[in-house]
Structure 1
Amino acid sequence: MDSHRKTDLLANQENEDDMFIASRWNSREDAMAFFRSDAFSETVEFGRGVLADRPRHVFFA
């Protein structure tokens, strides 16, 4: 999406199963539009075979 600026995957070096995805967007509204999109739903569905839990979204200002 045009409003997506950057995404980083951060891994806990002490626990290989603990990861954090940090995404930067132009606005919260743009991020929420992506989280409601079919593309995100398809990504989450694919990730169900890889992830232990559904991703949680935390917003930092």
Structure 2
Amino acid sequence: MQLSLYFGVLICIIAFCALYANNVWQGQNFPWLSQKLFEENGTQYTQLAILDENFRLDRQ
């Protein structure tokens, strides 16, 4: 029972490392453990772009 758990974890580790190395989900564009928001291309998201002059949500 425990060996099958170890085997499954090993398969997942290898699979996720391969996915990251091949940049399947563009994960290499983003830093690890960051609390910032990012665009799809990896640049930092400008949060003020969605706010009006009173710092409220601009629905347009």
TM, length-normalised to structure 2: 0.26
Higher helix share: 2
Higher strand share: 1
Instruction: Point out which structure has higher relative CO (alpha carbons under 8 A, 6+ apart).
Output: 1
Larger Rg: 2
